[in-house]
Structures are given as C-alpha cells and as structure tokens.
Amino acid sequence: MGNLSRHFDSSEMKCHCNKCDFDTIDNELINLLENIRLHFGKPVHINSACRCLEHNRSIGSKDTSQHVQGTAADITIDGVSPDNIASYIDDLNPHNGGIGIYETFTHCDVRKNKARWRK
C-alpha cells in the first residue's frame, strides 16, 4: 500500500473481494483521476477500481472489463453529477477511453479506443 499520486493511494484501488491483493492500477488512469481531482477541486471517491476476475464475475461484469486490467475506476465527486464528470472526461479524451454514465457514479477508463454509454 502506498501513495500513487498526490491525491490517491493504492488502498483506494484495491479489489473489494477481501480475498486477493489486486491493486495494480495503470499510471495513465491515475493521471486521469488527478486531472479530474484538480479540475473540480474536490476529492474523487473511488467506488471500484481494480477487480480480480472472480470478484468481477461475482458482480455480473464481463471478463473483458477494464477493471480486471487495472485501467478503470467508478467514481463520484460530492456535489457533482455523473453527467458533469463524464463531460469533463470527454473533453480531456474525446477520441479514446471509456466513459459510462450511471445514476449514482461515473465509470472512466483509459482504453485505447473510444467507448461511451449510459445506464
């Protein structure tokens, strides 16, 4: 466990299964999260980042999930809507990366192709 950047720690990225120690997160994702944090000037809460395959399957997600690769995070920011977070991420990465807008959180990832969805 340790600092990954000024505002993020590896403990925040760890898989929630409580069976593994998977917390290897992509540096590009950390940079994206830092940009989001600095832009909004508020803490970015990590709902889910790294997921081992077993945990990912247990919550009904696909084996191809970016979370399994350590390249995704589901985030919230107090007082900022998922739409506003998504809009900022899209401004940063209009041609690549995944952005999912959910009722209570925003998914962001650093995949090489562009993916956008709303659930």
Q: What is the per-residue pLDDT across 33-80, written as a single tens digit (0 to 9) for each? A: 999 999 999 999 999 999 999 999 999 999 999 999 999 999 999 999
Res 1 pLDDT > 60 = no
Domains in the chain with CATH codes: 10-118 (3.30.1380.10)
Widest distance between CA atoms in the chain: 37
Residue 114 has pLDDT above 70, yes or no: yes
pLDDT surpassing 80 at residue 8: yes
pLDDT at 6: 92
Nearest to 35 by CA among 108, 119, 115: 108
pTM for this prediction: 0.95
| Residue where the block lists tokens 């506003």 | 84
Buried/exposed code over 77-94 (b: 16+ C-beta within 10 A; e: otherwise) = beebebeebbebbeeebe
